[in-house]
Each structure stands twice: as structure tokens, then as C-alpha cells.
Amino acid sequence: MASERLESWVGSANTAVTDFPLNNLPYGAFAGAGRAGVCVAIGDQVLDLTALEAAGALSTPSGAPLFAEPRLNALMAAGPAVWAAVRAELTEALAARSTRQGEIAPHLLPMDEVALRLPFDVAEYTDFYSSRQHAENVGTIVRGPENALPENWLHLPIGYNGRASSVVVSGTDVHRPLGQLRPPGEEAPIFGPCRRLDFELEMGAVVGQSSALGRPLTVGQADEMIFGYVLLNDWSARDVQTWEYRPLGPFQAKAFATTIGPWVVPAAALAPFRVAGPERTERLLPYLTEPGPMAYDIALEVELAPEGGEAATIARSNARHLYFSAAQQLAHHAVCGCPMQVGDLLGSGTISGPEPGGYGSLLELSWGGREPLALPGGASRTFLEDGDTVTLRGWAEAGDHRIGFGSCTGKILPAVAEPHWT
């Protein structure tokens, strides 16, 4: 059950529509106004934790600096006890009853005057395939309804290892990728720009603790290792993927860019919004057993804006539709003995709801390109065109406040000029 809104002396944090009430305090990284470092969002302000710590106004339970570097990795590495202590101190300092306003206020900056950066150094990136509706939709489009789900899908979280080097922060433009693709009816592939470029509506789990080589994790242990969550768009070149993915899965079709939101919402802020996931239709093996509800009731939406055109919300979904939780994904990742690292990023996979308006990709919304999606002003889309901007948003809703993620945005630019190979 979600708690009531905590009141802050930062007035903009006390409205029902802000993504960033005192209950949230998501972490990010910023630059602007002659400063750079780590911050938390509070209302329409950011609190500069790097400057606050340097001024001696923020204690560090571990005794070591947590915010001297421009990313969150040092804080994450300090562990759950420190996460809780820092969060408690910030909550107390920003609360309406706090006596520390004069000490804290000089370190607040208007959010619209700073640039938000990649909030943590991404160690490794793994993307999963954990929404049953999405998997059934894609399987039906590609293989037909009789073979929609792979035979292993209900038994384990399917995933692939992606590229940490191409994870970028919201606001970064994305070039249409080049690659091999085989047009329908052709025997041989051609080389050129992707023609079926897509977005994927996802959540990302940020791993804040490491595990040892050869040591598996329980789902409960994995859950305690997750520092927080971000919005995530795993851009996909569908035609490149169709040609390359057999037998090993995605490669270049996913390696060109993955966009994450700038705000890492702490797992602690989302705890009141935990819910049971979808009903199981196959009994899971014991190592994937959850000790309690581990899905989240997080509303999600996708907005598409053609260049020079009107933006429109084209999909609404919810994270509670994920069949496998992030903790289950992490436990499965480590069960073979794979060591996890501080800063690992786990993508949920596309999150599609049960109705067509809740599908989390254009592949589904246009049903493989056969049913164009209508946009305001008479435009339509089967897949993304150059100049399109895609924005993801997400929030957990309480009666008098919301725990929001801000937005996760990327604009599609044309492919780079093809080199001339000889």
C-alpha cells in the first residue's frame, strides 16, 4: 500500500503531479551553472550532492566519499545499509519540518538550468524478453499463433548480452543503423540503412552490488542487490535482426543504441508499489521462486513526435505485466556462476499490455508493418522515420503523489554516409 506524500520545504515537491516528491528522491548526474556531479531530484530542483558532501553537510556512513566522482557507482558499491542511511538523511534534510534549510538551500539548482548526464557507469548490459504478451505477439507475427512462445519461455527469463558501450542517456540522438538485411522475396542480402527501425518500451534494473564468480544467487539475494530502476528504450533494427538472429539471437540489430532515462529511482521508493505478477501457467524451478510479490505497478506510456508534427501518445502499458521480475532475471543470470558487477544494467524486455493500445513496440502496434498506425494530422507509421522523436514516461501512482521517472527521449537521425569499400 502506497504511503501518503511526505511534505518538503521545497514547494514544488508538494504537488500531486510532480514526478519528484520527497517520497522519491531519484539519483542522477548533472552539469551546469558551473557545477557538475551527482544529484537527487526534488520537485523542479536538483540537489547537488557532490557540493553538499564537499561542504561537509552530508555524512558518509562508510567514511569514504560517495559523491566525489561524477557517477553513482561509488554510492552503489557502498551497499544497501549506506543506501538506506543516505536516503534517510536526505529525506530528513528536505522535509518540511527540517531545521537544515539554510544549510541545504544553496546547493539546489533549477532542473531546467542543468544538463542531465548518464547517471552511472554501465559495467555490462543484458536485455531480457519477459513480457508474455510481447513474446506472444512477436511469435505470432513471425511464426504464427500455433508456435508463438518458444518452448522454454514459461520456464526461464530469456535474455541476450548487449553492448554497455552504446547505452546512452535520454536526449542523445540516435543514428539509423547500417547493416545487412534481406528484402522480402530476395535470395541474397543487401547492405544499407535499416528500413524497419523500432523502439522498445522497457524498464532497466540497476545492479548495485557484485557477486562472486561461481556463486549463484537466490531471488531474495538478487532483489537486495538491485539499487534502483530506470526507463529504458532498447532501439531495434527489425530487418537487420530478422536476417542475423538465427541461431544465436540479436547482435548488430541491438548494438547501435540503448537509451536510458537520466533518473535512477531507488528500489526503496518503489517498495510501496509492489504487486504480484501475472499468474504462472507452468511451475518454475525452485531457484526462480520469489519470496513475495516482486512486480511493480508502474504506469508506462510512449509518445511519438514526427519532425514538425504533433506529438501523440501511441501506447500505454504497465510494468506489472512482466512475467519475470528483475530479481528473477538477476538470479537466473548468476545461477551458472556468472559474476555480476556494480553498474550492471538489466533490461526487462519490451513491456506490452493485453490490449493493442498497450503494445510496447511498433512491430506490434503495426502488426509487423501490415497495419499502419495513424498519427494526428493524417500521418502514419509502420516503423520509425528519420526525424521522429520517441519519449517514454513512467510513474507509480499513489492517492496524493506519484513516484516518477521523468522522461526517456531519443530522436532518430539519418544513417551516416556509407563508407566506400574496395
pLDDT tens for each residue of 130-145: 999 999 999 999 999 9
What's the DSSP call for residue 155? T
What was the pLDDT predicted at 422?
A: 55
How far is 368 from 140, CA to CA, in rounded Å?
10
Distance of CA 389 to the CA centre of its chain: 17
Mean pLDDT of 151-160: 96
Where do we find the cell 507475427? 141
What was the pLDDT predicted at 2?
A: 63
According to DSSP, the β-strands at 389-397 and 197-198 are unpaired
Q: Which of 234, 227, 267, 233 is nearest to 120 (CA)?
A: 227
SS3 204: strand
pLDDT tens for each residue of 228-239: 999 999 999 999
- In this structure, what C-alpha cell is assigned to residue 65? 566519499
Q: Which residue has the higher pLDDT, 197 or 420?
A: 197
> Within a 10 A sphere around the Cβ of 162, how many other Cβ atoms?
21
What string of H, E and C letters represents the secondary structure of 221-245? Answer: HHHHHEEEEEEEECCEEHHHHHHHC
Asked if pLDDT for residue 421 goes beyond 80, the answer is: no
Q: What are phi and psi of 29, to 5 degrees?
A: -130, 145
How far is 114 from 32, CA to CA, in rounded Å?
4
Of all residues in the chain, the percent with pLDDT exceeding 70 is: 99
Q: Which of 291, 299, 346, 289 is nearest to 321 (CA)?
A: 299
How far is 396 from 51, CA to CA, in rounded Å?
30
- In this structure, what C-alpha cell is assigned to residue 109? 539548482
What's the DSSP call for residue 145? G
Phi-psi category of residue 7: left, alpha or beta, with phi > 0 → left and psi -120 to 50 → alpha: beta
Q: Are 275 and 295 in contact (CB under 8 A)?
A: yes
134 annotated active-site = yes
What was the pLDDT predicted at 233?
A: 98
pLDDT tens for each residue of 240-291: 999 999 888 889 999 999 999 999 999 999 999 999 999 999 999 999 999 9
Cα–Cα separations (whole angstroms), residue 225 to 6, 76, 342: 26, 9, 9
The active-site residue out of 134, 332, 333, 401 is: 134
Q: Are 356 and 365 in contact (CB under 8 A)?
A: yes
How far is 231 from 241, CA to CA, in rounded Å?
23
What was the pLDDT predicted at 239?
A: 95
Of all residues in the chain, the percent with pLDDT exceeding 90 is: 93
Asked if pLDDT for residue 396 goes beyond 60, the answer is: yes
CB within 8 Å of 405: residues ≥ 6 apart? 19, 26, 229, 230, 231, 261, 263, 265, 393, 394, 395
Asked if pLDDT for residue 1 goes beyond 80, the answer is: no
